[in-house]
Structure 1
Amino acid sequence: MKVKIGSSKLVQPLYEGNPPPTTNYIPLSVFDKVTYDQHVAIIYAYRPPTTPNATIELGLKKSLAVYREWAGRLGKDSNGEPVILLNDEGVRFVEASVDRALDQTVSIGPSASLLSLHPSLEGVEELVQVQVTRFSCGSMVVGFTAHHLVADGHATSSFLVAWGQASRGLEISPLPFHDRTIFSPRDPPILDFEHRGVEYVSKNIKKVYPLIDNSVDDIVAHKVHYTAEFLSKLKARASSMNGPHDRPFSTFESLVAHLWRAITRARGLNGQENTQVRISVDGRARLKNPKVPNGYFGNLVLWAFAKARANDLLREPLPYVAKLLHDAVVNVQDDYFKSFIDFANHKAKEEDLVPNAVADSKESILWPNLEVDSWLRFPFYDLDFGSVGVMWHILYLGN
């Protein structure tokens, strides 16, 4: 696929009235600091008729005035602490074209060719990049990349909805809550849970898995669609050993249990090898007293870890595995989040620990472990620029 770049420019926020000062900054919260220090990419595809580029760009400018962090840059304050500089330097906006029809060019599954439909993720200062690619059939693809240190999936999807609202000439609603200093540690700190080896690890730890065949060189990305009938039967089977007063396991828990077993079997792990699933847990509904304000913009995710030996995972029935996942997620509640806040502000600094997400991000593809994120409750599919064309596809490319 040959993508022709027509223009590439920086787009700044468009304010009503006098613009705010460009010398302010927002400190990263403890939740920002432990997440992945990298860009993630999403690709949207729309059937014709589609919205003009100028309308999409204008909506972007208006939404950046509300979600100002995206137009800034990562930096340090006078104490060397990481911050988001609110300097309004802008986001990258690329206009491109392909001299072929979308159906003849783009596969709906993950492929290397899709990388040309969003700007490069290497050596990027901009916190958001947008590429609008037009095809000869009138279809449009919007590639969106964003830095994870600025916002998690929940917050990023809210921004995307706001971008669509602004493009349609609507008021942005609800408005985001920007204060990242609300996560104050308790005095004295209460460390009810172990966070070493979970959110934080020593700088000197080198993770080695000698039972994994590191010579594998044909790894591919694969997208799977499960029918509603399959998921319904799977959920019933996963919940078949629950008591009469127990709620059935969720579709998410049931499917992840199935995948964990299937992937472990396919990997051919040594039976005594330990394997775990890391599951993202959104703290917005879990933190209480005080409750996190609606529309909090930033990262507010910790992880639940379900663990098992490969032998046990494959020998025990599906309900056993689903319960491992359910119990792990249930344990990450208000008290766990508060314990993490205390640990991050005291012990992590004292012991010079580093975020586990950073340590894991480079070489995890051949490990015996999995990471699972659910977008079921995020409005990613609500990015509506105002055209009457139908959204054809959305694809998360990761980092």
Structure 2
Amino acid sequence: MVKLEATKEHDDGRDVTVTVAPALPVQEHRLPLSNLDLLLPPLDVSIFFCYLHPAPTAAGLKEALAKTLVAYYPLAGEVVANGDGEPELLYSGRGVDFTETTAASVELREVRLGAVDEGVEKLVPAKKAGVMAVKLTKFRCGGAVVGCTFDHRVCDAYSFNMFLVAWAVAARGGSAPPAPSFHRSFLAPREPAPLCTTGNLVDRLFVPVSRVPALPDTPAVNRIYRLSAADVTALQASAGSGRTKLEAFTAHLWGLYAKAAAALRRQPHSCCMGVVVDGRTRLRRDGAMSTYFGNVLTIPYGVMGTGALSTMALADVADDVHRWVAEAATGEHFRELVDWVEAQRPEPTVARAHLCRGNGDEDAMACVVSSGMQLPVGEVDFGWGRPAFASYHFPWAGGAGYVMPMPSARGDGDWLVYVHVAPEVAKVMEKESTVFQALENSYVFEY
């Protein structure tokens, strides 16, 4: 295997970047971000798909992208500040930057996909302007990688998954799926406002930025591991009756963080674990928000001492995860969250799960788990076949880790897990004989 070097090669010896505009013009206008969008700081999220020969072509991808941006017009806009300094979406028809490049001396099978810091960084675009960017990297073998980067303030992974499916359908010439909804009324604050917007669950989970201490800029590594379907099932069984696979996985990960903290033999002695919860079905059980495009997320979390975590059975840890996740997975919590943000505006806010603090405000190791299990790998077929591999890439700043499990493109129940964690945590993961297994390219390309 080889490390994928930065390349400036194209068919004519250079990268080619063009801006793909929507196929139909739309009058310039502004779209306010919802109160739940305003919870997100400026963060870019990337995702990439690996295709073996024959692979999607730039011409086909760009033509389908132009068609899809008509319905998904926020992705062709820009985030600007309004009069209060808050971000909002300017739909200017700017379009999406699309870069085409060639790794002429490398075969796709040689790219170290599991070692993200070595093999993947050059496969996803660094978004310089606008809401979204795309990069197509072609390899000597005829394979290709389609990488996308988008502004998290505009949409969450659920929303971007809808766009990916629509883009792929357009490339295949199929019938367009249901159009996205941008109805901000779903997330409007209640009127009159509740008498009390403090002291509730939201106050425990989020905090105004002015009350946030300086966050540590700790080193982190980015990896992709695989979990076998058998190990996922075994974790769920060990977590006890009624526990989901994600709850069992989160409980296991929490225990690994305790081991990493203990190995450091110094502070912190607490571990904070958060889980991203989607609120669409909690706010509207009638399915009215199934096509809503935007952020509908909250991040409940728990804190435990490393000593307690190290001695607890997985089932007991999973019970605790279930307790604080269930507490936040309600329509009332999301309505309170919308009202709470309204009461703070225009001051930005942040999720406490990111802050690396314990219950007594002591330093803590922290991690947030976000489920990518809805990633529609098999549906991102641009007409040349389904991808052989797909993963998110989200190396955010700050001291908290970020872990995202998603389904393997093999469709056999295995999981792939993207991790952005402290080096000490990665070492603990890699010492396991099961669960977090190294991602070998033979698993991706030779099964």
Instruction: Tell me how far apart the structure 2 counterparts of residues 105 and 87 of structure 1 sit (CA, whole Å).
Output: 41
* 1:26/1:180 contact within 8 Å kept: no
Equivalent runs, 1:129-278 vs 2, <5 Å? 129-186=133-190, 187-189=192-194, 191=197, 193-196=200-203, 198-206=205-213, 219-239=220-240, 247-268=241-262, 273-278=269-274
Q: Which range moves more in the overlay, 49-58 or 84-93?
A: 49-58
Matched, 1:10 2:19: yes
Q: Which amino acid aligns with 1:222?
A: R
* 2:108/2:144 contact within 8 Å kept: no
Partner of 1:65: 70
Secondary structure of 1:254's aligned partner = helix
Count of aligned pairs: 374
Sort the Cα spacing of 1:291 and 1:81 in 2 relative to 1 into closer, same or farther, 3 A. farther
Equivalent runs, 1:325-336 vs 2, <5 Å? 325-332=321-328, 333-336=330-333
Instruction: Tell me how far apart the structure 1 counterparts of residues 62 and 184 of structure 2 sit (CA, whole Å).
Output: 28
Secondary structure of 2:225's aligned partner = coil
Per-residue CA deviation, residues 50-73 of structure 1 (Å, 9 max, x unaligned), is 232111110100111110000000
CA positional deviation for 1:171:
2.6
**Greater relative CO, 1 or 2 (CA 8 Å, sep 6+):** 1
Equivalent runs, 1:366-385 vs 2, <5 Å? 368-385=365-382
For structure 1, list consecutive stretches of 5 or more residues without a partner in the other structure.
240-246
Sort the Cα spacing of 1:272 and 1:105 in 2 relative to 1 into closer, same or farther, 3 A. closer
Matched, 1:30 2:35: yes
CA positional deviation for 1:78:
4.4
Partner of 2:282: 286
Q: Which range moves more in the overlay, 65-74 or 308-317?
A: 308-317
Q: Which of 41, 51, 73 is equivalent to 2:56? A: 51
Per-residue CA deviation, residues 208-235 of structure 1 (Å, 9 max, x unaligned), is 78xxxx9x86x43232212122222221
Provide the identity percentage.
25
Secondary structure of 1:178's aligned partner = coil
Instruction: Tell me how far apart the structure 1 counterparts of residues 310 and 267 of structure 2 sit (CA, whole Å).
Output: 9
Q: Which of 121, 124, 132 is equivalent to 1:118? A: 124
Instruction: Tell me how far apart the structure 1 counterparts of residues 34 and 97 of structure 2 sit (CA, whole Å).
Output: 25
Partner of 1:242: none
Once superposed, what is the RMSD of the aligned Cα atoms?
A: 2.6
Sort the Cα spacing of 1:328 and 1:197 in 2 relative to 1 into closer, same or farther, 3 A. closer
* 1:36/1:357 contact within 8 Å kept: no
Per-residue CA deviation, residues 112-133 of structure 1 (Å, 9 max, x unaligned), is 3422222224xx2221111111
CA positional deviation for 1:107:
0.9
Per-residue CA deviation, residues 224-270 of structure 1 (Å, 9 max, x unaligned), is 2121222222211110xxxxxxx521111111111110122123266
Task: Give TM-score scaled by structure 2 length.
Answer: 0.77
Q: Which of 302, 311, 314 is equivalent to 1:315? A: 311
Instruction: Tell me how far apart the structure 2 counterparts of residues 74 and 371 of structure 1 sit (CA, whole Å).
Output: 26
* 1:31/1:301 contact within 8 Å kept: yes
Matched, 1:20 2:26: yes
* 1:130/1:145 contact within 8 Å kept: yes
Q: Which range moves more in the overlay, 149-158 or 33-42?
A: 33-42
Per-residue CA deviation, residues 141-175 of structure 1 (Å, 9 max, x unaligned), is 11111110110010011101111011111232021
Q: Which of 66, 71, 86 is equivalent to 2:91? A: 86
Secondary structure of 2:100's aligned partner = strand
Instruction: Tell me how far apart the structure 2 counterparts of residues 359 and 308 of structure 1 sit (CA, whole Å).
Output: 13
Secondary structure of 1:266's aligned partner = helix
Q: Which range moves more in the overlay, 247-256 or 59-68?
A: 247-256
